[in-house]
Amino acid sequence: MLSSQIVPLKLCADHIQTVRSHAERSYPHECCGLLLGVIQPQEKILVEVRAVQNAWDEQVATDLGDQPSLTKTRRYWIAPEEMLAAMRDARSRKLDVIGVYHSHPDQPAVPSECDRQLAWQQYSYIIVSVQQGKAADLQSWLLNENHQFQREETLIITPYSLTPAPYPLSPIHIVNRIT
Ligand SMILES: [Zn+2]
């Protein structure tokens, strides 16, 4: 059950395009990146999509107790240094890291068990499926209190504005769901 406090992730069409292009460029590897934005009780807004390198390698696989045979075609990893740098950069601009995106080459835009285990509460996880090199479905996911992923509603806004929404958020405004 969705709790009443959950608000849609607001983003711009440009953000989606950036994620899709990165995913296609990285194919057949998974791409990854960070979502910088604002989280308030009534609002969650994506401000910037920041591409980072997929640092997955055998060492990471071993450290995580994962199968060393899995490569970047099935896994991604964001180096802690990249995460820290993004957090620092975000804070200096009064933003936060609010989530992560990554791609699933020739797999559906559905979190894997590994994605679930490594996921952080409150983060939005955007996954884009890439089929034969072409970006396909894109879906944002959010953990619930049982550490299970549920679909996160998204709301496309344009143009982006940091000022509070000029209207109360109601279902009627959720017109552009990403499916
Ligand atoms: Zn994944």
| Structure confidence at residue 159 (pLDDT) | 57
Asked if residue 121 is part of any domain, the answer here is yes
Residue 164 CA to ligand 1 centre (angstroms):
33
Residue 139 CA to ligand 1 centre (angstroms):
12
**Nearest one of 42, 81, 73, 44 to 56, comparing CA atoms:** 73
Residue 162 has pLDDT above 60, yes or no: no
Asked if residue 179 is part of any domain, the answer here is no
pLDDT band at 178 (very low <50, low <70, confident <90, very high): very low
Residue 148 CA to ligand 1 centre (angstroms):
14
Residue 8 CA to ligand 1 centre (angstroms):
21
Residue 121 CA to ligand 1 centre (angstroms):
16
Dihedrals φ, ψ of 133, to 5°?
90, -5
Residue 177 CA to ligand 1 centre (angstroms):
21
Residue 158 has pLDDT above 80, yes or no: no
Asked if residue 106 is part of any domain, the answer here is yes
pLDDT in tens, 33-51: 999 999 988 889 999 999 9
What is the end-to-end Cα distance of the chain in Å, rounded?
19
Residue 7 CA to ligand 1 centre (angstroms):
23
Q: How many domains does the chain have?
A: 1
> What mean pLDDT, rounded, does the chain reach?
88
Residue 166 CA to ligand 1 centre (angstroms):
35
pTM summary value: 0.86
Q: How far apart are CA 10 and CA 133, in angstroms?
A: 27
Asked if residue 3 is part of any domain, the answer here is no
Asked if residue 79 is part of any domain, the answer here is yes
Angle at 129 between CA 125 and CA 131, to 5 degrees: 170
Residue 161 has pLDDT above 60, yes or no: no
List the CATH number of the domain containing 149: 3.40.140.10
Can you give the residue range of the structural domain that contains 89?
A: 9-173
Asked if residue 26 is part of any domain, the answer here is yes
Asked if residue 1 is part of any domain, the answer here is no
pLDDT above 70 covers what percent of the chain? 85
Residue 66 CA to ligand 1 centre (angstroms):
14
Asked if residue 157 is part of any domain, the answer here is yes
